[in-house]
């Protein structure tokens, strides 16, 4: 049995999953399902990247331990994969013990090979990218939070493997795909390759995997993350399983992480004496309209909103159909609705309802028994046989969008065949011929549904169930005549929009828009209970009061504009709610270290207070 091992990148645990993440994972799922249907032994891996500066920082901002932060964030991905009906075989988190062991083992091997050396390095360091950058890079907007650093660190001799990597890429034309990405990597390799700094001193970053040969350092997050691809199949723990699946057939990635996957990773594997993956495939970006999806712009499309509104299958179909191999694609509600209505409602769904309506009307809801051997019928049959091989070839070369177009073209041909043969007329003059036409059309629909099953696993099942053909094979001739039709709902109800009126288009759900903050943003605001212990007027400011508050063990001073609503006496002892992590400011020359919460109606202001019998000060508000 052939094995097929494919991976998605492991996603940053901090991020809220969006359409871009969903795309790679669905693509992997679709390929995995095609290969499983073909009888291959598939191992499909996805997971989360949980170490590094950004995770440590996000956890600090939320006032929790990094591991706790990861545990709280991870379910967002798991829930989405569940909703998208992703059937992955393993889910790896880089904080797992099995991974730590493998990373340390590889580091030790590379070290023992003499491929890691210690050096003092002075340069520009980008906190946002978590690496040293060049002077030129420092001038681009991509890198933020840049500081000059002089540090002793460990370096991996990547340069040693430069020629070997160039040779490997040239000898294995499918190693990096598509072609333009391969050329990009070869272009990069024309310049001398520098060595890779693979350590971070614990004094600066402690959230990572410790170097086995120096406990003062953790390893660079990419050195750790890439190794997940060998941890999961069982490197150094389940030898047989590892040898069965490794090297991976495909690492599916986005174009932004091409260099790490095509240069860092292969040279790391060379140093560790392991075979390189057979293929690295870098897809393009999903844009939001014309621009790159970005959290700061607030145009990141939320896949959950789409699934809720239109169901999971249309979302999977749209993403797979709309992105052309290797190019960027633009997500708009307009193109979503257009694609849905034309391909799914008009072509695919319509073929099913035409066939079932006619069978109900003229054949007592029974599937006829004999196929159509007219010239037209034979064309449908022959194309139906041919398309199976074509689709498989397209899928094997990752051209899923072309495979889908091919299947839809075939469905359109079958719809035309129905129009030409007009079984609704034939049913009155020649019922036997009408039955044959409907049988052939239903068989074509069955084959199309099985071909589309990896992309739309649910609704294709409904069709197969309707035709009593669940579990039937892809080969032409699988439909069994004489069975009763099973009732079904309309498969793809049309989305009704007035074509000329863009205003009427359903609005896409955006993850972070200007007025909406993410849960993690909310978590960054520390709301706490606080007891007012002292209140005084501020000289010269008749609206302000100076409050001394107790937030647990902490004592803070707040300047608040409530003097016209509360007397100093009535405030003492009250349990209020404050934003406890606000940057201190100076108001009227006095330091203010927080903000209290109050509600205003007209001119009246009321403090938010809480029963001091029930809560102590310093408690977190959720």
Binding site for ligand MSP (CB under 6 A): 9-12, 15, 20-21, 23-24, 49, 225-226, 228, 253-254, 256-257, 285-286, 293
Please identify, using beta-carbon distances, which residue of 72 and 214 lies nearer to ligand MSP: 72
573 backbone φψ class: left, alpha, beta (φ>0; ψ -120 to 50): left
> Closest approach of Cβ 467 to ligand MSP, in Å?
36
Q: Residue 170 — φ and ψ, nearest 5°?
A: -70, -35
Contact 472, 464 (CB under 8 A): yes
Bond before 581 cis per omega within 30 degrees: no
CA distance 492 to 559: 59
Please identify, using beta-carbon distances, which residue of 286 and 417 lies nearer to ligand MSP: 286
> Closest approach of Cβ 89 to ligand MSP, in Å?
17
CA distance 428 to 576: 81
CA distance 264 to 51: 18
| CA count, 13 A, side-chain hemisphere, 473 | 7
Please identify, using beta-carbon distances, which residue of 15 and 343 lies nearer to ligand MSP: 15
> Closest approach of Cβ 186 to ligand MSP, in Å?
20
Contact 542, 564 (CB under 8 A): yes
> Closest approach of Cβ 220 to ligand MSP, in Å?
12
Q: Which two tokens stand for residue 172?
A: 């294995």
Contact 468, 368 (CB under 8 A): no
> Closest approach of Cβ 21 to ligand MSP, in Å?
5
Please identify, using beta-carbon distances, which residue of 92 and 580 lies nearer to ligand MSP: 92
> Closest approach of Cβ 299 to ligand MSP, in Å?
10
Please identify, using beta-carbon distances, which residue of 238 and 256 lies nearer to ligand MSP: 256
Q: Which two tokens stand for residue 310?
A: 């239109």
CA distance 19 to 331: 9
Please identify, using beta-carbon distances, which residue of 225 and 558 lies nearer to ligand MSP: 225
Please identify, using beta-carbon distances, which residue of 253 and 510 lies nearer to ligand MSP: 253
DSSP 531: E
> Closest approach of Cβ 391 to ligand MSP, in Å?
24
Please name the helix (run of DSSP H) or strand (run of DSSP E) that holds residue 466, with its range, or none.
helix 457-466
506 backbone φψ class: left, alpha, beta (φ>0; ψ -120 to 50): beta
Q: Which two tokens stand for residue 556?
A: 């803070």
Contact 235, 228 (CB under 8 A): no
Please identify, using beta-carbon distances, which residue of 106 and 407 lies nearer to ligand MSP: 106
> Closest approach of Cβ 53 to ligand MSP, in Å?
13
> Closest approach of Cβ 41 to ligand MSP, in Å?
24
* DSSP collapsed to 3 states, 341-361: HHHHHHHHHHHHHHHHHHHHH
Q: Minimal CB distance to ligand MSP: which residue?
A: 254
Please identify, using beta-carbon distances, which residue of 47 and 594 lies nearer to ligand MSP: 47
CA distance 598 to 562: 9
- Where does residue 137 rank: exposed (0-12), middle (13-18), buried (19+ CB within 10 A)? middle
> Closest approach of Cβ 283 to ligand MSP, in Å?
7
> Closest approach of Cβ 525 to ligand MSP, in Å?
24
Q: Residues 43, 46, 51, 52: is their CA dihedral positive or negative?
A: positive
Please identify, using beta-carbon distances, which residue of 92 and 479 lies nearer to ligand MSP: 92
Q: Which two tokens stand for residue 56?
A: 């440590």
Please identify, using beta-carbon distances, which residue of 57 and 350 lies nearer to ligand MSP: 57
């Amino acid at each position: 049995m052939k094995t097929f091992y494919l991976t998605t990148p492991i996603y940053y645990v901090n991020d809220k999953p969006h359409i871009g993440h969903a795309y790679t994972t669905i693509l992997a799922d679709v390929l995995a399902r095609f290969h499983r249907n073909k009888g291959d032994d598939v191992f499909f891996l996805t997971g989360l990247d949980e170490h590094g500066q950004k995770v440590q920082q996000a956890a600090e901002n939320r006032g929790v331990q990094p591991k706790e932060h990861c545990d709280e964030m991870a379910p967002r991905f798991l829930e989405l994969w569940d909703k998208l009906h992703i059937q992955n075989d393993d889910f790896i988190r880089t904080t797992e013990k099995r991974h730590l062991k493998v990373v340390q083992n590889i580091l030790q091997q590379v070290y023992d090979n003499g491929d890691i050396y210690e050096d003092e390095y002075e340069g520009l360091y980008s906190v946002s990218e978590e690496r040293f950058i060049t002077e030129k890079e420092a001038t681009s907007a991509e890198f933020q939070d840049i500081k000059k650093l002089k540090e002793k660190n460990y370096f991996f001799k990547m340069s040693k493997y430069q020629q070997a990597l160039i040779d490997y890429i040239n000898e294995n034309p499918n190693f990096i795909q598509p072609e333009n990405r391969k050329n990009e990597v070869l272009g990069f390799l024309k310049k001398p390759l520098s060595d890779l700094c693979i350590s971070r001193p614990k004094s600066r970053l402690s959230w990572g995997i410790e170097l086995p040969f120096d406990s003062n350092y953790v390893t660079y997050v990419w050195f750790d993350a890439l190794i997940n691809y060998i941890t999961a199949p069982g490197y150094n723990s389940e030898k047989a399983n590892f040898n069965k699946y490794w090297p991976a057939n495909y690492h599916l990635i986005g174009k932004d992480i091409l260099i790490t996957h095509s240069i860092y990773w292969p040279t790391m594997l060379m140093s560790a004496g392991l075979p390189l993956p057979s293929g690295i495939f870098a897809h393009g970006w999903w844009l939001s309209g014309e621009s790159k999806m970005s959290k700061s712009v607030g145009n990141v499309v939320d896949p959950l909103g789409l699934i809720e509104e239109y169901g999971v299958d249309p979302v999977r179909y749209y993403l797979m159909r709309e992105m052309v191999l290797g190019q960027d694609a633009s997500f708009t509600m307009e193109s979503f609705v257009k694609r849905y209505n034309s391909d799914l409602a008009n072509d695919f769904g319509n073929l099913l309802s035409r066939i079932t309506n006619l069978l109900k009307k003229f054949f007592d809801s029974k599937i006829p028994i004999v196929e159509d051997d007219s010239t037209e019928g034979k064309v449908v049959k022959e194309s139906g046989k041919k398309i199976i091989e074509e689709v498989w070839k397209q899928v094997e070369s990752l051209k899923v969008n072309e495979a889908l177009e091919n299947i839809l073209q075939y469905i359109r041909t079958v719809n035309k065949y129905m129009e030409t043969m007009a079984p609704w007329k034939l049913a009155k003059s020649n019922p036997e011929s009408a039955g044959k036409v409907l049988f052939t059309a239903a068989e074509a629909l069955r084959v199309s549904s099985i071909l589309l099953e990896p992309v739309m696993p649910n609704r294709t099942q409904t069709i197969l169930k309707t035709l009593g053909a669940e579990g039937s094979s892809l080969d032409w001739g699988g439909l069994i005549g004489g069975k009763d039709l099973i009732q079904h709902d309309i498969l793809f109800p049309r989305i009704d929009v007035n074509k000329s009126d863009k205003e009427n288009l359903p609005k896409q759900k955006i993850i972070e828009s200007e007025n909406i903050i993410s849960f993690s943003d909310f978590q960054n605001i520390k709301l706490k209970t606080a007891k007012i212990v002292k209140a005084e007027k501020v000289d010269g400011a008749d609206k302000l009061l100076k409050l001394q508050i107790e937030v647990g063990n902490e004592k803070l001073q707040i300047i608040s504009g409530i003097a016209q609503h509360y007397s100093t006496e009535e405030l003492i002892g009250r349990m209020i709610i404050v934003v406890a992590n606000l940057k201190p400011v100076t108001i009227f020359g006095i330091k203010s270290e927080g903000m209290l919460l109050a509600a205003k109606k007209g001119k009246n202001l009321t403090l938010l207070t809480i029963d001091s019998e029930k809560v102590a000060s310093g408690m977190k508000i959720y």
